[in-house]
Structure 1
């Protein structure tokens, strides 16, 4: 598995409409990204460290995370895995080793105000991957809850993991 995880999501694939979410505090949609337009340098700049928890992210890394949310207000914080991204990626790495899956995983994890993953929406799934096993890993993840002002709130967490290039 690539030792880098990039956060992205596409608003068009979410189950709720943009208008409905825009009216709900804390339910900000992530910005869509055109991968064909990304240069390798831009992609490298969009990588968050696996080993840091939310409070350890630098200002630049925090900006990178916040920039993934088009409607995130200044008074809001997105959810983030309590053990850092490695807590999720390590489990997915074990699944990859077992199944040999290749390709990219794009998912949006719905996180409630208590930091529990409630649902997973698929934007892209890897080849040879078991969606039920991946879903189990993502739903078992614990998150620092999102904040809307001073109050915990529900919000989505976009996740992109590259399991290596696909076989041609």
Structure 2
């Protein structure tokens, strides 16, 4: 079993993604008085792609975050891609009006299920509970260590803003 600490990964990830292409996730319904669906989240990976469907450049950016990742190793990743996860987090943000930086690490088991969540930074206990719950309910593609499923930490960092009701993930 190999668990890679997420706090260093979160910091490395935010640096690597600073120049990455940004994708938007749109709200399901437009705001009252408009036909346009507003952007609810911006992420640095294609929201509709699973890990297997990611371009090699995106896979390389993800792998670079983890120390000592071998040629047959892969990091954990949301099983359905980032889009579904970010929509769930956006709904949570809208219901509790979260603002601030959240940094967490999800321990993903070899079966792809979240075993636990480590909290590195959160604006308040309610935010911690809501976001940790969403991350625990998510199904993940397990990490591969020497081409075999293994337990590994999935770093997750996000900044919530009430100004435009937008989320920006650093993952």
Match of residue 144 from structure 2: 147
Q: Could you tell me which of 110, 113, 122 is aligned with 2:107?
A: 110
- Whole-Å Cα distance in 1 between the matches of residues 155 and 138 of structure 2? 13
| Number of residue-to-residue matches in the alignment | 139
Q: Could you tell me which of 11, 15, 18 is aligned with 1:43?
A: 18
Match of residue 130 from structure 1: 127
- Whole-Å Cα distance in 2 between the matches of residues 34 and 141 of structure 1? 23
Structure 1 segments unaligned to the other structure (5+ residues): 1-23
- Whole-Å Cα distance in 2 between the matches of residues 61 and 42 of structure 1? 10
Match of residue 163 from structure 1: 160
1:28 matches 2:1: no
- Describe the SS at the equivalent of 1:107: strand
Q: Give the ranges of 4+ consecutive aligned residues of structure 1 lying more than 4 Å apart after TM superposition.
A: none
- Describe the SS at the equivalent of 2:49: coil
Structure 2 segments unaligned to the other structure (5+ residues): 22-43, 164-171
Name the structure where strand makes up a greater proportion of residues: 2
TM-score (ref. length: structure 2): 0.71
TM-score (ref. length: structure 1): 0.72
Q: Contact 2:119–2:128 (CA<8 Å) still a contact in 1?
A: no
